[in-house]
Amino acid sequence: MSTVVLIGCSSYKTDTVYAAVRAGIELLGGTAAFVKAGEKILLKPNMLAARAPELAVTTHPAVFEAAARIFQEAGAILSYGDSPGYDRPAHAARVAGIAEIAEKLGVSVADFETAAPAQVAEAAGAPVSFPIAKGVREADGLISLCKMKTHSLTRITGALKNQLGCLTGFEKARLHVRNPNPQKFSSRLALITKIVNPRLYIMDGVTAMEGEGPSGGNPVGMGVLLFSRDPVALDAVFCRLIDLDPAYVPTIAEGQALGLGTKDGVTLVGDPAENFVKPDFDVVRKPVTGDILFRPLRPLKNSIIPRPVIAAAKCEKCGVCVRACPAEPVKALAFPGGGRAAAPVYDYSRCIRCYCCQEMCPHRAVSVKTPLFGRIITRLLGKF
């Protein structure tokens, strides 16, 4: 049985967050349950993109600061890092406000630009290898500082998905290309989590993101920090708070299948979960698509599966989405005519529905929409 701690936290004031993080860790046995003095511990915040803290794209620097101070007080030698989806790690850390805190506290920057392969066994026993950031490999242990957000591909991005950033640079996009099916992609996330094996997960849900997450959604106050050793249980509790069936989150099923934790019979400790329930949280409450499409419908998948759409009026023609698109050998979107007179145009026949373009657009111009035929099929079959 797994334990998840919930601690109310009404703001990002430094002292408030420090007290809440301290209380959460104490309820799981204190810092001694996670680190020994002198160990090299990596803090892994969510630094998806170079965005300001108030946009709720990244783990808030106040949560990073609290965790860093508490584990430094326990004698850990700290480093930090993440591999953003598009930006350089140093730039993302600076804009997210994390670099400034790290410099103040003497937390060193871990290498998230070079990687070394690490092997793990799938549930069926077959070995599989992933290029893991050297900064992760060089640490004795990892503490995952994840963010409470929605996600177009996996419904939520929380504890389990935070480890995707342990792959460097374009390796993350390559993972999408090799595993376009959401369930398969989630099974790879579970394997990466098994390799890097965080000792503790702290989820920043003081201000969460709803709607078009993980970067284009809206900040929403949830006023809570979650703590657990079990990423499956933690994500399942996040689902409970937002009235989302955990069965709709493929990372939860795949994490549980790999033995990373359990969504069932979770013990809740700390403040009552009812204090933080938000049933109108804006999240898609239906299963993800993928190979679950019936075989007869597969030729029509471009008209069924939700697809990215650019709002031309919001598009600044920066080209980030085009550069981020991992589709091979030809990208699935391009500027018409090669110039930048108009917004990029999609070729949905090449699109693998990874939604990296939506994730990376710095101007919130890309949204994910289900085509009319897909909406009709959804109604008729009660699926997708």
Least distance in Å: CB of 174 to ligand SF4? 12
Stretch that binds ligand SF4, among 11-19, 70-78, 208-216, 352-360 (CB under 6 A): 352-360
Is residue 317 within the footprint of ligand SF4 (CB under 6 A)? yes
Q: Which is nearer to ligand SF4, 243 or 316 (CB)?
A: 316
Cα 275 to its chain centre, rounded Å, is 24
Stretch that binds ligand SF4, among 37-45, 123-131, 164-172, 345-353 (CB under 6 A): 345-353
Residue 47 has which token pair?
């630094």
Q: Are 146 and 158 in contact (CB under 8 A)?
A: yes
Is residue 310 within the footprint of ligand SF4 (CB under 6 A)? yes
Q: Give 289: exposed, middle or buried? Use CB within 10 Å, 0-12, 13-18, 19+.
A: buried
Pattern 3-22, ligand SF4, x by CB under 6 A: --------------------
Dihedral of the CA atoms 108, 74, 238, 84 (nearest 10)?
Answer: 10
Is residue 321 within the footprint of ligand SF4 (CB under 6 A)? yes
Buried b (16+ CB within 10 A) or exposed e, 196-206: bebebbbbbbb
How does DSSP assign 211-230, residue by residue? SSTTTSSEEEEEEEEEEES-
3-state secondary structure of 370: coil
How does DSSP assign 65-100, residue by residue? HHHHHHHHHTT-EEEE----SSS-HHHHHHHTTHHH
Which member of 50, 101, 225, 325 binds ligand SF4 (CB under 6 A)?
325
Pattern 50-69, ligand SF4, x by CB under 6 A: --------------------
Which member of 226, 333, 377, 384 binds ligand SF4 (CB under 6 A)?
333
Is residue 96 within the footprint of ligand SF4 (CB under 6 A)? no
Stretch that binds ligand SF4, among 36-44, 134-142, 269-277, 354-362 (CB under 6 A): 354-362
Q: Residues, the chain, total? A: 384
Is residue 195 within the footprint of ligand SF4 (CB under 6 A)? no
Q: Which residues bind ligand SF4 (CB under 6 A)?
A: 308, 310, 315-321, 324-325, 327, 332-333, 343-344, 346, 351-357, 361, 363, 365-366
